[in-house]
């Protein structure tokens, strides 16, 4: 009997969480159940997800930024179907495939004249790993500088450039380098001066915390890097390919990084794909002789489906004017959130560039709320954000996330195809949720206590029902 994927899906429908609990990541299942995100989605279209009862959810997370053109875009689906129907070769390896050449040509044309060589990868972290390796190979230096709060992936090389101890600790010795506080040129120069730094690796808009580099920081950093012979790597895995209103976020600062990494949105969310764009000079120093032509390589990087989906995605971003849309609707997110939430005591600010938006909250002044705030933070420094994210899902069917440790932040990474109506719906829903958080006692703080209990129980390795919050309240 031939394998029937449709039948398999129907037969096993609803076993999602029990299977993951048994075989994949039971801790993650626990988290999803605790925050009420244990939904079984049946289908998706554009910026929306649908569950078994056909309830619609507004997805402002877009698979961590993968579905920029929206989910299940018909043009990308058609491209993949066409590719399958053509019975093309893929990964012959000892040939030069047309689609990889075409996608490289297209990627390099987005900012003409800056880069001339592309290396294809299967993920964001692999792109960052490759860029670090190229920088080390090209300079003969070892150290990598990275920023506070940085996130570049979680394999060992990219983890070495992670700006959060929560991710780094417990995995032993990482690559040599140093962390630079955001926007601190003095600290940067102090490290560059040692002349042992291969690269300064940065996200122009940081995914964790949605911190946007100050106007002068990156241009000045570029001058310093050039002065001391250090390469610049702009990690655009999240911010690239239109998300901030430009093809690459670094363009907002008018700089010319030596290497650029992309992934996430590159193939429209269908096939894992990433790339490193680099100057020919860097390439030549690493792939320096014929016997070094595959000194860095992989097996799946240039596969046909990823390359075809990549071409279709870049075409769509242009055809649907998504750069302009990201900029315009990103600004609308900021305006609408300020309009509906700006007056709340615990609202700190909304910031971002294009469709990378962070909404930060701050400690209240009134006594009752202050005590509740202190209790939640004593249990876990990032819990307050969950008090927003949880009701946004349970009451308004909006998918958002907290992003960053020790920060009261809700992050939006919407598909670039969201509409004005979606933005308004989000801003009004957020205002309702934030208003509830300003009532103590009340439902929002009950959710907070439940989350706090779970956080403490998990830390102590006991059941939440065995945890009391009294000691935390003192």
Using CB under 6 A, list all residues that contact ligand PLP. Answer: 64, 123-125, 128, 151-153, 203, 207, 235, 237-238, 263
Q: Give the nearer residue to ligand PLP in terms of CB position, either 203 or 360.
A: 203
Q: Give the nearer residue to ligand PLP in terms of CB position, either 387 or 407.
A: 407
Q: Give the nearer residue to ligand PLP in terms of CB position, either 203 or 422.
A: 203
Backbone φ and ψ of 411, nearest 5°: -115, 140
Q: How far is the CB of 403 from ligand PLP (least distance, A)?
A: 10
Q: Give the nearer residue to ligand PLP in terms of CB position, either 130 or 364.
A: 130
Q: How far is the CB of 128 from ligand PLP (least distance, A)?
A: 5
Q: How far is the CB of 369 from ligand PLP (least distance, A)?
A: 33
24: left (phi over 0), alpha (psi -120 to 50) or beta: alpha
Q: How far is the CB of 238 from ligand PLP (least distance, A)?
A: 4
Q: How far is the CB of 248 from ligand PLP (least distance, A)?
A: 12
Q: How far is the CB of 151 from ligand PLP (least distance, A)?
A: 5
CA distance 133 to 12: 43
Q: Give the nearer residue to ligand PLP in terms of CB position, either 120 or 445.
A: 120
Question: Which residue of the chain is nearest ligand PLP when measured via CB?
Answer: 124
Do the Cβ atoms of 362 and 386 come closer than 8 Å?
no
Q: Give the nearer residue to ligand PLP in terms of CB position, either 61 or 376.
A: 61
Q: Give the nearer residue to ligand PLP in terms of CB position, either 122 or 429.
A: 122
Q: Is the peptide bond before 441 cis (omega within 30 degrees of 0)?
A: yes
Backbone φ and ψ of 382, nearest 5°: -105, 10
As to burial, measured by CB atoms within 10 angstroms (0-12 exposed, 13-18 middle, 19+ buried), residue 269 is: buried
Q: How far is the CB of 154 from ligand PLP (least distance, A)?
A: 7
Q: How far is the CB of 352 from ligand PLP (least distance, A)?
A: 14
Q: Give the nearer residue to ligand PLP in terms of CB position, either 357 or 455.
A: 357
Q: Give the nearer residue to ligand PLP in terms of CB position, either 201 or 392.
A: 201
Q: How far is the CB of 275 from ligand PLP (least distance, A)?
A: 12
Place of tokens 């730094």: 197
Structure tokens at 218: 């990156």
Q: Which residues have a Cβ under 8 Å from the Cβ of 461 and sit 6 or more positions away?
A: none
Do the Cβ atoms of 233 and 200 come closer than 8 Å?
yes
- List C-alpha distances in Å: 19 to 40, 131, 419, 423, 458: 13, 36, 36, 35, 22
Q: Give the nearer residue to ligand PLP in terms of CB position, either 249 or 392.
A: 249
Q: How far is the CB of 264 from ligand PLP (least distance, A)?
A: 6
């Amino acid at each position: 009997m031939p394998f029937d994927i449709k039948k398999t899906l129907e037969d096993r429908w609803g076993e999602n969480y029990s299977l993951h609990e048994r075989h994949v990541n039971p801790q993650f299942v626990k988290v999803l159940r605790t925050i009420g995100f244990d939904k079984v989605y049946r289908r998706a279209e554009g910026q929306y997800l649908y569950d078994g009862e056909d309830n619609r959810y507004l997805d402002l997370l877009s698979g961590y930024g993968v579905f920029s053109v929206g989910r299940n875009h018909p043009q990308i689906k058609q491209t993949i179907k066409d590719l399958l129907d053509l019975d093309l070769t893929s990964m012959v390896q000892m040939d030069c495939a047309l689609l990889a050449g075409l996608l490289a040509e297209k990627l390099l044309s987005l900012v003409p004249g800056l880069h001339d060589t592309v290396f294809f990868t299967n993920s964001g972290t692999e792109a960052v790993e490759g860029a670090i390796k190229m920088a080390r190979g090209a300079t003969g230096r070892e150290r990598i500088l990275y920023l506070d709060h940085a996130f570049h992936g979680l394999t060992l090389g990219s983890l070495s450039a992670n700006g959060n101890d929560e991710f780094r600790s417990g995995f032993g010795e990482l690559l040599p380098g140093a962390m630079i506080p955001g926007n601190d040129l003095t600290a940067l120069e102090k490290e560059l001066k040692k002349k042992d730094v291969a690269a300064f690796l940065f996200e122009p808009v940081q995914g964790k915390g949605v911190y946007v580099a100050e106007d002068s920081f990156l241009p000045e950093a570029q001058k310093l890097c050039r002065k001391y012979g250090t390469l610049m790597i702009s990690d655009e895995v999240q911010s690239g390919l239109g998300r901030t209103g430009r093809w690459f976020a670094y363009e907002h600062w008018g700089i010319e990084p030596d290497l650029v990494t992309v992934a996430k949105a590159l193939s429209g969310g269908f096939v894992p794909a990433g790339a490193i764009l680099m100057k020919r000079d860097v390439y030549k120093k690493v792939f320096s002789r014929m016997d070094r032509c595959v000194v860095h390589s992989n097996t799946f990087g240039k596969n046909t489906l990823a390359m075809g989906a990549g071409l279709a995605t870049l075409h769509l971003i242009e055809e649907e004017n998504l750069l302009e849309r990201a900029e315009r609707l990103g600004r609308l997110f900021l305006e609408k959130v300020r309009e509906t939430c700006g007056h709340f005591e615990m609202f700190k600010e909304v910031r971002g560039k294009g469709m990378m938006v962070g909404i930060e909250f701050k400690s209240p002044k009134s006594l009752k709320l202050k005590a509740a705030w202190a209790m939640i933070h004593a249990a876990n420094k990032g819990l307050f954000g969950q008090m927003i994210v949880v009701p946004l899902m349970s009451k308004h069917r909006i998918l958002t996330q907290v992003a960053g440790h020790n920060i009261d932040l809700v992050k939006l990474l919407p598909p670039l195809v969201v509409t004005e109506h979606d933005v308004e719906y989000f801003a009004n829903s957020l205002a309702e949720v934030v208003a509830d958080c300003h009532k103590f006692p009340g439902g929002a703080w009950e959710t907070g206590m439940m989350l706090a209990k779970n956080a403490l129980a998990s830390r102590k390795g006991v059941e939440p029902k065995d945890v009391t919050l009294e000691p935390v309240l003192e």
